[in-house]
Amino acid sequence: MRALSIRQPWAWLVVNGYKDIENRTWSARFRGRIYVHAGLRVVADDYPEQREYVTEAGIIIPPGLPRGAIVGEVAITGCVAASDSPWFCGPYGFTLADPLVYEIPVPYPGRLGFFPVDEASLNG
């Protein structure tokens, strides 16, 4: 299965079922289940409109979110250039469904774009 690195807190919002779109500057034809990798880098003031939405919606993001690890899975169901979702800020958005959060994150190095995951390394 492939993975996609997403910065925190966005990765947490995806796997916990809050965020239904992952914004990218590039489109993709890929559809299917992926691992959600929480990247190492954090940008405290990125996506101010979405941060405001988190506050207005009363979503409580826990402190100390894992980074540099696979934190769950989600299905990519499409790629759009416009959406009514409050999470969309484009220019492209991968539409997401069926999130699954891992109780114990699995340390794993991330990469740009979709990247393959060595399944054997996840199991031991």
31-78 residue pLDDT tens:
999 999 999 987 777 767 787 888 888 999 999 999 999 999 999 999
**Has residue 124 got a pLDDT over 80?**
no
pTM of the entire structure?
A: 0.92
- Distance (Å, rounded) from C-alpha 2 to C-alpha 108? 13
49 against 88, higher pLDDT: 88
DSSP 61: P
**Has residue 119 got a pLDDT over 90?**
no
Do the domain assignments include residue 86? no
Do the domain assignments include residue 107? yes
- Using alpha carbons, select from 34, 41, 32, 31 the residue that is nearest to residue 9: 41
Domain span holding position 106:
2-21+32-75+96-111
At 101, which amino acid appears?
Answer: V
Domain total of the chain: 1
Do the domain assignments include residue 104? yes
Do the domain assignments include residue 15? yes
What is the token pair recorded at 21? 């779109």
